Amino acid sequence: MKKEKLYIFDTTLRDGEQTPGVNLMVDEKVQIAKQLEKLGVDVIEAGFAVSSPADFEAVRQIAREVKNSTVCSLARARELDIKTAWEALKEGNRIRIHTFIATSDIHLKYKLKMSREEALKRAVEAVRLIRDISEGKAEVEFSAEDAGRTDLKYLCEVIEAVIDAGADVVNIPDTVGYAVPDEWFERISYIKENVPNIDKAIISVHCHNDLGLATANSLMAVKAGARQVECTVNGIGERAGNAALEEIVMAVKVRSDQFPVYTDIDTKQIYKTSQLVSRLTGIMISKTKPIVGDNAFAHESGIHQHGVLACRETYEIMRPEDIGLTESKIVLGKHSGRHAFKKKLEEMGIELSEEQFEEAFRKFKELSSRKKEIYDVDIELIIEGLEGKDEKLYRLLYNQAVSGEGIIPSATVKIETPEGEKLGLAVGNGPVDATYRAIKNALGIGEEISLKDFKIRALTAGTDALAEVFVTIEGSGIKVSGRGVDPDIVRASALAFLEALDRLYRRKEKREGV
């Protein structure tokens, strides 16, 4: 079977960021974009430049820093949106403007209050404007929003017209996740067979997961001739999310007998990318999530374990190594010295300046005095901590919590803040509650900030495992998440709360233009 390239268009930073409760800072978006570039995605939709100054800045910085993937901004079929997207992207190496307008009767009537003819005209004008304004530098993608519920003949007319106007990619979104696989196959096949100039553009699909069919629909579209799929890491996105990048890429790879396409994704980067997106968005991955969930390669039943030991393929259709998952090895302990630590960093491909190395080694020694076995993940977390170190508003200098049967739980914290060191004391319903109250007392926070979500899990095995805590808080109408990792669950909880507070204040400052 002759294979054609399937382009992977990642919209984690745009549609994915529309996940309720997700609110990434510009530097976090840049960090994710660089990892997406390493993963090998063809297009990174970095944001919706006109939607906020922060989105504009994220698109601009990502366009400047990413060289190997095309960087894209979303834009409604309006002059201001397109001009703003161009301003944000113009310094980039490879760029694309993704313009869209709804085409289904229900959207035209109730949302846009526009006729079919008017929407078609607006679509064509938008495509022409992108061509003119960028003098051909920007690739043009056009999306017919709610294409899944659009009259098929009219949809074909729109697609033909935008291709004539210069669209390079025509995207067919199932905006509300309503389609079922065979119907979606037929819709894409119909477009391929009935739009006369369709060979001048790439057909793309963008499937939402409201019925849990986003991956299946995307794959059926590939069978029907789509050569770009839009997806997000871990399947995050509006409502039930988008098609998951890792599922599509691995389906095409593992069942290459079924699909006439290949991707340029470095699948060994999948796990790392998935973890990074989960950490920064605060959206935890379900244990049974295909490809990247904790249980995706775990064999519980005795029969399965026996089978896998005898011959891996009895129950494994892909190898954990394929997605970059290596067994969590014990790498170092408290007796390991500078030399062993340096060697381990080299093996992990981590390069540090002399100053960073000293700081990382100090943190490693400090951690190994509290934790018997140090795993790769511990080292990754130390390094990650170094990167964000200078930007933090708050540093937890000290914390103590007392709890037990028959006593009132109490906590003390000392926090370094831009105004100096602050001390807080409180009692609560348990050690975490007391610590959160102590932090609020130290920082002078009252009822205006509320805790919306709190999740805790063990990152490694054993009673001295690292605890990972995710919290979501809300204040002044802004919802943000924070994450903390430490062998001590109370300290991990405090770190997560302080990170969330840090993000909340930085976001508020941005909103108020400080």
User: In the complex with ligand KIV, which residue's Cβ is closer, 9 or 86?
Assistant: 9
491 binds ligand KIV (CB under 6 A): no
Question: Is residue 356 helix, strand or coil?
Answer: helix
61 binds ligand KIV (CB under 6 A): no
19 binds ligand KIV (CB under 6 A): no
Residues paired with 228 in a beta bridge: 7, 204
* Among the listed residues 288, 460, 497, the one whose alpha carbon sits nearest the alpha carbon of residue 376: 460
Piece in contact with Zn ion (CB under 5 A), picked from 12-20, 271-279, 401-409, 458-466: 12-20
Given Zn ion, ligand KIV, none, residue 145, with its beta carbon under 5 to 8 Å by kind, binds ligand KIV
Q: How many positions of this chain bind ligand KIV (CB under 6 A)?
A: 9
15 binds ligand KIV (CB under 6 A): yes
Residue 130 and residue 49: Cα distance in Å, rounded?
Answer: 14
Q: How many angstroms from the chain centroid is the CA of residue 172?
A: 22
Tokens found for residue 171:
């995207």
81 binds ligand KIV (CB under 6 A): no
* Among the listed residues 372, 380, 369, 371, the one whose alpha carbon sits nearest the alpha carbon of residue 344: 380
Q: What single-letter amino acid sits at 295?
A: N
Tokens found for residue 325:
């998952």
148 binds ligand KIV (CB under 6 A): no
CB of 443 to Zn ion, least distance (A): 38
215 binds ligand KIV (CB under 6 A): no
Using the CB atoms, write b or e for 358-372: b if 16+ within 10 Å: ebbbebbeebbeebe
Tokens found for residue 11:
């919209």
CB of 505 to ligand KIV, least distance (A): 31
15 binds Zn ion (CB under 5 A): yes
Tokens found for residue 321:
């190594």
CB atoms within 10 A of CB 200: 14
CB of 169 to ligand KIV, least distance (A): 11
Residues with Cβ within 8 Å of 74's Cβ and at least 6 positions away in sequence, in order, are 14, 45, 47, 48, 49, 85, 98, 99, 100
CB of 206 to Zn ion, least distance (A): 6
468 binds Zn ion (CB under 5 A): no
184 binds ligand KIV (CB under 6 A): no
Piece in contact with ligand KIV (CB under 6 A), picked from 171-179, 325-333, 369-377, 431-439: 171-179
**Contacting positions for ligand KIV (CB under 6 A):** 15, 100, 143, 145, 171, 173, 175, 206, 208
**Contacting positions for Zn ion (CB under 5 A):** 15
